[in-house]
Amino acid sequence: MSNAHSQRKDEHLRICLEQDVSASGITTGLQHYRLVHCALPELNLSDIDLRTSFLGKMLQAPVIISPMTGGTGRARRINRNLARAAQALGIAMGVGSQRAALEDPSQIATYQVRDVAPDILLFANLGAVQLNYGYGLDECRRAVEMIQADALMLHLNPLQEALQPSGNTNFAGLLDKIATICQGLEVPVVVKEVGWGISAAVAKRLAEAGVAAIDVAGAGGTSWSEVESRRTKDPLQQRVAGHFTHWGIPTAEAIQEVRDALPDLLLIASGGIRTGPRAAVALALGADLVGVAYPLLEAAAASAQAVQYKLEILIMGLRIAMFAAGCRDIPALKRAPLVSAMATYTSSPFDLDAL
């Protein structure tokens, strides 16, 4: 089973590196908003402060490298390059699902990055559905200890599992098991989607279960239905996966829904965020951090410097957007007014080449 799991991870990695798997039938919705330009910001650009605290740890910018990979040979290089960049920039990072390493200890090293990133806010990661397939508090602890993580991410991916050959599709009774992990684990638990969004109703249930933060991971970025349609050799499964190109809660909608329902919960926004101005909009809509993954993957396969360069583009764009909107720091950005840009927006809503 562990070999099959590692093979699947390697196939996911290969498809994401070699093919365009961005959502084609739905957008993030972030293009429908813009910050109001301030021609007289009364600020020095050098005074813009991007620092923020998340789960008790200070970050130099409100950015997390979202979970991507692990459990394959080339994943070790990718994760370490991502971690080196995160350390250099003072941002957060999550690793990919650690199930492969729990089932095959030879894969543990593909996730370990603390030696190159001793100071970052680091998230361990497991599929929440595995709590219905024999996993429990012990496995969650092992995932955290394996990489000396500061917190655990449990990812929700019911649609991906349904579209996968032999996917784990029993999500019944999962909320109570998530609550058990939240109560028993020594580090905070964060729950994230993988690219179809989390609604206000689901977020409320998760908050009541005790999660410390939610990553809405909205639709409009990487499409795992696209990935699974290209991975399967079964024509029936390919056709079915192709029917979900318009599925999901757009990132902007998910941010607003969850923030309105849970004004005090820590919130990560990921899903199709490609530029600094879009990151600024996501933060102004209510996110505390923005997550980036797919735009960094090719760079991470090359070098830590390539990853750092791409992230610097995003962070510089965020800094300038805040300056041009007259926002000195992240709290000021969260109070900044947004206006509808639907009538004036003309460029590509995807920004696929932005980083």
The three-point CA angle 53-59-60 to 5° equals 130
pLDDT the model gives residue 15? 60
Residue-level pLDDT at 312: 98
Separation between Cα atoms, residue 11 and residue 17, nearest integer Å: 10
CA distance 71 to 6: 6
CB of 126 within 8 A of CB of 85? no
What pLDDT digit, counting tens, does each position of 94-134 carry?
999 999 999 999 999 999 999 999 999 999 999 999 999 99
Say how many CA atoms lie within 13 Å of 292 toward its Cβ: 33
Q: Is the pLDDT of residue 1 over 60?
A: no
Describe the crossing of helices 224-231 and 235-242 by its angle, rounded to 10 degrees: 160
Q: Output Rg (C-alpha) for the chain, integer angstroms.
A: 19
Residue 349's pLDDT band, with cuts at 50, 70 and 90, is very low
Long-range contacts of 58-62, Cβ-Cβ distance < 8 Å, separation of 24 or more: 58/90, 59/90, 59/91, 59/92, 59/121, 59/289, 60/89, 60/90, 60/91, 61/89, 61/90, 61/91, 61/315, 61/318, 62/279, 62/283, 62/287, 62/288, 62/289, 62/290, 62/318, 62/330
State the chain's mean pLDDT as an integer.
Answer: 92
Tokens in use for 204?
């409320």
C-alpha 164/C-alpha 161 separation (Å) is 5
Give the model's pLDDT for residue 10: 61
Structure confidence at residue 18 as a pLDDT band (50, 70, 90): low
User: What's the pLDDT score for residue 345?
Assistant: 52
**Does residue 343 carry a pLDDT above 60?**
no
Q: Which pLDDT score, from 0 to 100, does residue 166 have?
A: 84
Output the DSSP codes for 191-204.
EEESSS---HHHHH
pLDDT at 216: 98
Q: Tens digits of per-residue pLDDT, 203-255?
A: 999 999 999 999 999 999 887 777 777 777 788 888 898 888 889 999 999 99
Q: What is the pLDDT of residues 298-331, one digit of tens each?
A: 999 999 999 999 999 999 999 999 999 999 999 9
CATH (one of 3.30.830.10, 3.30.70.100, 3.40.50.300, 3.20.20.70) for 2-340: 3.20.20.70
189 phi, psi to nearest 5 deg:
-110, 130
Sorted by where each begins, the domain ranges of the chain are 2-340
Task: Report the range of poorest mean pLDDT among 18-27, 54-63, 193-202, 317-326.
Answer: 18-27
pLDDT, tens digit (0-9, with 9 covering 90-100), for 132-158: 999 999 999 999 999 999 999 999 999
Per-residue pLDDT at 2: 53
